[in-house]
Amino acid sequence: MQKQRVAIFASGTGSNAVNLIHYFKNHSEIEVVFVMSNKEDAKVLQSAKNLDVATFFLPNQQVANAEPLLDLCKEHQVDWIILAGYLRLIPSKLITFYQDKMINLHPALLPNYGGKGMYGSNVHKAVIANNENESGITIHFVNQEFDKGRIIAQFRCEIKEGDGVIELEQKIRYLEQSYLPIVVEKTILREEKRKL
């Protein structure tokens, strides 16, 4: 079987992108073909380069349209897209093209704490402000409704008394680092076997 070709979209630090790159480095069925960021100075681009993965920067005006993204993905024969800390809206045509082939990581238990403005530490601030006693991560397919695509997996963590945004952020990072690559791997392999 030909390897499944994965593109990662990311806007920031890229700890999840780096983790995915490491995980799939010598994988027999899945490979990361490039990392795309809408931020020229995003740390993720340098980190991916250091790991010998191709990188592309597309400014916000370009990622607002499907064509530049579709051209890039088609040119590199991308089968799957992983959104790992990608903070721009995905153009509808790209979502349709990659239906059930685009996976997003969200740092909360959707459907709670999703939607506009809910990204990164904004999410953790809102969770702490509401005195929740748990939070977690959601890995889901991307559909036309922001943060509302079919859920693939969720993982939870306890919020203890005295935990603030920093402590919660650490717990969420631990869940992301532990589970995102495995869930991506299982999802891709399951879908590909289903098609045989």
The site for ligand GAR (CB under 6 A) is made up of 10, 12-17, 84-85, 105-107, 119-120, 123, 172, 176
Task: List the structure tokens of 107.
Answer: 């740092």
When CB distances to ligand GAR are compared, the closest residue is: 85
Measured distance CA(5)–CA(42) in Å, rounded: 23
Specify the residue, 10 or 128, whose C-beta has the smaller distance to ligand GAR: 10
Shortest approach of ligand GAR to residue 108 CB, angstroms? 8
Cis peptide before 181 (omega within 30 of 0): no
Backbone φ and ψ for 156, nearest 5 degrees, come out as -110, 155
Find the DSSP H helices in the chain.
15-23, 43-50, 60-63, 66-75, 92-97, 120-129, 165-195
Shortest approach of ligand GAR to residue 61 CB, angstroms? 21
Task: List the structure tokens of 93.
Answer: 């045509």
Specify the residue, 108 or 188, whose C-beta has the smaller distance to ligand GAR: 108
Q: Are strands 4-9 and 30-37 parallel, antiparallel or unpaired?
A: parallel
Shortest approach of ligand GAR to residue 166 CB, angstroms? 13
Which residues does residue 158 pair with via DSSP β-bridges, in sequence order? 134
Specify the residue, 13 or 154, whose C-beta has the smaller distance to ligand GAR: 13
SS3 70: helix
Residue 46: enclosing H or E segment and its boundaries? helix 43-50
Shortest approach of ligand GAR to residue 85 CB, angstroms? 3
**Which residues does the annotation mark as catalytic?**
106
Specify the residue, 77 or 170, whose C-beta has the smaller distance to ligand GAR: 170
Measured distance CA(32)–CA(20) in Å, rounded: 8
